[in-house]
Structure 1
Amino acid sequence: MKPDRTSLTRLVAGNNGFAVDLYRQLSKAQGNLFCSPFSLSSALAMTFAGARGNTAGQMAQTLHFDLDDEALHAAFAQLQASLAAAQRPGQVQLALANSIWPQIGYPFLPEFLALLQRFYGVSITPVDYATATEAARQAINTWAEQHTAGKIKDLLEPGILDELTRLVLVNAIYFKGTWLYQFDPAHTAEARFWLTASEHVTAPLMQQTCRLPYAEVDDIQVLSLPYADDALSMVVLLPAREKGLAGLDALFTAERLDHWLLGLQEREVQVFLPRFKISSTLRLDATLQALGMTDAFDDMIADFSGMDGIPRWLYIAAAVQKAWVQVNEEGTEAAAATAVVMNFRCVSEPPPVFRADHPFVFLIMDHATRSILFCGRVVDPSGAE
């Protein structure tokens, strides 16, 4: 079934809600941050296709999925097609790719694999985690690097995969766009960049004056910097210096963001923006659990029976993302890759119970020769004196 415009709108609203939740959770750590909420949503949507029961319910709530299953996956297909259509040769590159890497011979349900191929266009590459874990890791990493123009290397670090891994689902996204109004490098100059209201460092600030969508609301300056095709833009949210990011974070919700964007109006703006480059390596297990997706990571509770027909055999062992961005006078280049690693639950047998509460035979043996030196039996221990 094809999603209608309402389904696509609901999906985008949900994805943006998750993006804000993700940012708020990750921003609790110090320092620069860069991630791709869309890449994570896409990888987890493929994983969600195999979730059932409470596992699926928690994932839907965390990811803000409020469509029925087929409408959801169809909407993702439409969204990815729409984003791919935004490419403009020489101006904007926007490439998306999905892949899955199942364990050779593991009985994944044909309908699960067919759904991922139909709606997410996945490539399916069986690998052998059981006996060739490192070769599987290298193959997945090579795919991610190839689909991000070489920007994302070593997506999966050693130790993330093991002999119990049964499936890895990967999303890759690459973007490169030139500004509609490029900055003149001759106008870039070293200037103070305030870390706090009283502390600063020196950074190269690009500058220009032109007509741009701009708003001032809630003590926040909102600026939209369009790329060359005017279909994509970078939105910069700048809080008042004395309030800092804490003031912005206190207000930042998906609904408030919509309100800020609705207030944008074109006007002449003098823009100062630093050149910057950020790379991030994110292990997202704890982040997703903090957002409410707990069952999916619990090997005793997780239900991904939609993948293999067997409840509580598969669980998410790791969710990782690497992201990279560079902003300069010409434009922006960014890439991210996300991997969701599904492991097979190691079913530990309970310890055997040796309860000698009935007649038994016993032997006394020599270890070296295995000679039976004594033997006997106990029928009634109360009379065995």
Structure 2
Amino acid sequence: MEAICVANNQFTVDIAKNVVIDQNLAMSSFSIFVALAMASVGARNTTETQMKKVLHLENITNVHPRFKELFTSLSCQEYILDIANGLFVEQTFPILNSFLQSVSLWYNVEPENVNFLGDSEGVRQHINSLIEQQTRGLIQDLLPPDSVSSDTVSVVTNAIYLSANWTTAFPHGNTVNASFTLRTNEQVTVEMMSTIQTFNTRNISEDNVRVLELTYGDSKIMSMYIIMPDEGTDILEIERNMVFEKIMDWTDSSKMEQAVLKVNVPRFQIEHSIQPENILENLGMTDVFRSSANFSGISDTGVYISGVFHKAYVKVDENGTEAAAATGVVIVPSPNPELPLRLLDSEA
């Protein structure tokens, strides 16, 4: 189970470094990670090798049963963390029972037969509605129009909802409008929360960053880490030099010092959506998006992934954090290269 966590963190850094945007980003790499891991249950040969390598699962034995253990271990009475996986299958599609049974067992999924062939738009709205319910209304319209069609044979989904309170809340009366400096040196006005407490903190001069740990709940088993570049250091430079080992070192609580600090944190809310196919291809997951993909563990009929859709939401305020994310992996049939030959034969 610990190896799965390490793999997810490695995947997180890979994805974050390859997202190119000029705005605030909210993303749950864990949601993307889980949805692709579910699809990889049916991958074989080179396709499976590529998926496991990009997801950093290649050296883990009995990978998929460990996900079931992980989902169970993440539950805690001090916060709400709901993880819901889904598998929607075209009712006429010959999906393998072995795939259905494996995904059901290891990812806590109840596969649902749907009618993509006759009512793809209705199925799209149905899936989006379920995702909206699973994320307490925070993720809407995960699958955009035209993301599924009558050709779609399956959609794999993951949805996550988190609600957690700080160990010690920021006093509401301390929140004021204050100046915040963007990476462009532009000054904007934000709602700035403020408190004086004992925090875990660390100044890493060789990397030009400071790290602050904000804990949740009385047990403090979950934290938010704020990584702030030193004055004069471009945050893009920090992101470019980011690697898994460095992130793990920066956020190692045993290397931090406790200090009484006055901390100012912006009160913020971010929503964002991405389609990470290009990122996944650049990382080496190329076969899955081609008709030559080998998902023979899903069906004897050839299939491949036509799209990966992801949305995320995060809100940070005086009480804590509310966040949600969802990912949808759309699977379609591969074109049959023998079909034109059969048509020519029949015409002859």
TM-score (norm 1): 0.85
- Corresponding residue number in structure 1 for 2:279: 287
Q: Distance in 2 between matches of 1:48 and 1:118?
A: 15
Residue 268 (str. 1) matches residue 260 (str. 2) = yes
Instruction: Tell me the distance in 1 between the aligned counterparts of 2:69 and 2:332.
Output: 30
Partner of 1:14: 7
Give me the whole-angstrom Cα distance separating, in 2, the residues matched to 1:132 and 1:125: 15
Paired residues, what number? Answer: 339
Which of 150, 161, 183 is the aligned partner of 2:170? 183
2:221 to 216, 231, 238: 231
Residue 322 in structure 1 maps to residue 314 in structure 2: no
Question: Is the contact made by 1:222 and 1:238 (CA closer than 8 Å) also made in structure 2?
Answer: yes
Residue equivalent to 2:106: 119
1:234-289 per-residue CA deviation (whole Å, 9 max, x = no partner) reads: 11111113112123113311100111122222221221110110001111211211
| Residues 183 and 235 in structure 2, CA contact (< 8 A), matched pair in contact too | no
Shift of 1:68: 4.9
Partner of 2:330: 341
Q: Report matched runs for 1:305-384 at 5 Å.
A: 305-310=296-301, 313-347=302-336, 349-350=339-340
1:112-144 deviation per Cα after TM superposition (whole angstroms, max 9, x unaligned):
111111111102111011111011111111110
DSSP-derived class of the 1:223 partner: strand
Contact 1:192 1:201 in 2 (8 A): yes
CA distance in 1, matches of 2:185, 2:98: 59
Report the secondary structure of 1:258's partner residue.
helix
Tell me the residue number matched to 2:156: 169
Aligned: 1:103 with 2:78: no
Alpha carbons of structure 1 residues 49 and 185: separation in structure 2 relative to 1, 3 Å:
same
Instruction: State the AA in 1 paired with 2:226.
Output: V
State the distance in 1 between where 2:318 and 2:103 align. Answer: 39
**Offset of 1:330 from its aligned partner?**
1.0
Q: Counterparts of 1:241 and 1:308 in 2: how far apart (Å)?
A: 55
Secondary structure of 2:246 counterpart: helix
Q: What per-residue deviation string (whole Å, max 9, x for no partner) do you get for residues 186-244 of structure 1?
A: 11111111113632111111111111111111211111101124121111111113112
**Which of these residues, 255, 263, 270, is aligned with residue 245 of structure 2?**
255
CA contact (8 A) 2:167 2:216 kept: yes
- Pairing 1:76-155 to 2, within 5 Å after superposition: 76-83=67-74, 85-88=75-78, 92-155=79-142
Following TM superposition, by how much is the alpha carbon of 1:49 offset from its aligned partner in structure 2, in angstroms? Answer: 0.3
Equivalence for 2:38 = 46
Distance 1:308 1:259, change over 3 A: same
1:353 CA displacement: 6.6
| Cα shift at 1:10 | 1.5
Partner of 1:306, secondary structure, is coil
Higher Cα Rg, which structure: 1
Cα pair 2:155 2:328 within 8 Å, conserved: yes
C-alpha separation in 1, matches of 2:143 and 2:226: 31
Does structure 1 retain, via aligned residues, the 8 Å contact 2:177–2:189? yes
With over 3 angstroms needed to count, the CA separation of the structure-2 counterparts of 1:196 and 1:41, relative to structure 1, is closer
Secondary structure in structure 1 of the residue aligned to 2:325 = strand
Q: Aligned letter for 2:65? A: A
Shift of residue 185, structure 1, vs aligned partner: 1.6
Distance in 2, matches of 1:185 and 1:328, equals 9
- Tell me the percent identity: 33
Q: Any stretches of 5+ residues in structure 2 without a counterpart?
A: none
Query: What root-mean-square deviation, in Å, do the aligned CA atoms of Structure 1 and Structure 2 show?
Result: 1.7
Alignment deviations for residues 54-94 of structure 1 (CA, whole Å, 9 cap, x no partner): 1111111111113456x1111111111111x2232xxx111
The 8 Å contact of residues 188 and 205 in structure 1, kept in 2 or not, is answered as: yes
Q: Return the alpha-carbon distance in structure 2 between the equivalents of residues 152 and 246 of structure 1.
A: 28
8 Å CA contact retained: 1:86, 1:231: no
Whole-angstrom CA distance in 2 between matches of 1:198 and 1:29:
18
